[in-house]
Chain A
């Protein structure tokens, strides 16, 4: 994957397949520590310990559960290449938490890329799933919660073209504000 935001899009599909009603995406960056944390947390059907192990192993996985495939191994590789790591916590019936950490000053660090695009696609293509997107840069934080947006919108869907462009600009502008002095 050329951007970490593409990994996020990919990993979040697993949460959707797991029938999550709420998916939380956390992207938290610390300039002082040169660290980046990407978390995808869901309340889907969860996995057993054996399933968690098989998800991490690309060769085992592709031959048994086609549903999962290379997504997690690619994301894990992107994290480990920088000296970071990936961990998965999961419980059947409760949900799954995938957390990857990256060292941003490492030469092999993959750029975050267009996270706005990832979040907008996830939100507008999965109207029955709620998303909580948390973007943190040092002390500053910005969040989007589709439960709040849906409350405002009532029966107007989030994929209505005018709403999609508002959402895109809303996320872009707020993200930009995080970096401004």
Chain B
């Protein structure tokens, strides 16, 4: 059973970890649309998958955040990936499987997954 005592131990471990982490690099931002449209289309498991993969792979300098309606409800779930110094990439109709590939190809290796982007559908 998880307890508050355990939380205290985790806090102490996290504090040690925080001091050793280097805060100089600008973070990559992943933003998931979480308005009514996004949530109804499945944004919650997509958001969970981003967080889970980043934690599992211990990827540093990446933050995951939520936003409102991005304005293209028919393409939800939508996520935007903003890598410092690069153009923003908008991914559409996301699933947990697509998120796993985006993490590996785009976040880890720096190659956006063109077939999942908004550009792929408009052509």
A residues sitting closer than 8 Å to B (CB atoms) are 1, 6, 9-10, 13, 17, 69-71, 74, 114, 117-118, 121, 124-125, 149, 152-156, 160-166, 169-170, 173
Closest A residue to B55 by beta carbon equals A161
Residues of B within 8 A of A117 (CB): 44, 48
14 extra A-B contacts, CB within 8 A, seeds A9-B44, A13-B68, A17-B68: A6-B39, A6-B40, A71-B36, A74-B36, A152-B7, A153-B11, A154-B11, A155-B15, A160-B14, A163-B14, A164-B51, A164-B55, A166-B7, A166-B10
Q: Interface on chain A toward B: helix, strand, loop, or mixed SS? A: helix
Q: Can you give 12 contacting A-B residue pairs, CB < 8 Å?
A: A6-B44, A13-B35, A118-B44, A121-B48, A121-B66, A149-B7, A152-B4, A152-B11, A155-B15, A161-B54, A163-B10, A164-B51
B residues sitting closer than 8 Å to A (CB atoms) are 1-2, 4, 6-8, 10-11, 13-15, 18, 34-36, 39-40, 44, 47-48, 51, 54-55, 65-66, 68-69
Instruction: Tell me whether A153 and B39 are in contact in the complex, defined as CB-CB below 8 angstroms, given that A125-B65, A164-B55 are known contacts.
Output: no
Contact yes or no, B40 A162, CB < 8 A? no
CA distance A71 to B37 in the complex (A): 9
CA distance A124 to B48 in the complex (A): 11
Contact yes or no, A125 B66, CB < 8 A? yes
CA distance A13 to B43 in the complex (A): 14
CA distance A156 to B12 in the complex (A): 9
Residues of B within 8 A of A156 (CB): 11, 14-15, 18
Contact yes or no, A10 B39, CB < 8 A? yes
Instruction: Tell me whether A121 and B44 are in contact in the complex, defined as CB-CB below 8 angstroms, given that A69-B35, A70-B36, A163-B7 are known contacts.
Output: yes
Residues of B within 8 A of A149 (CB): 7
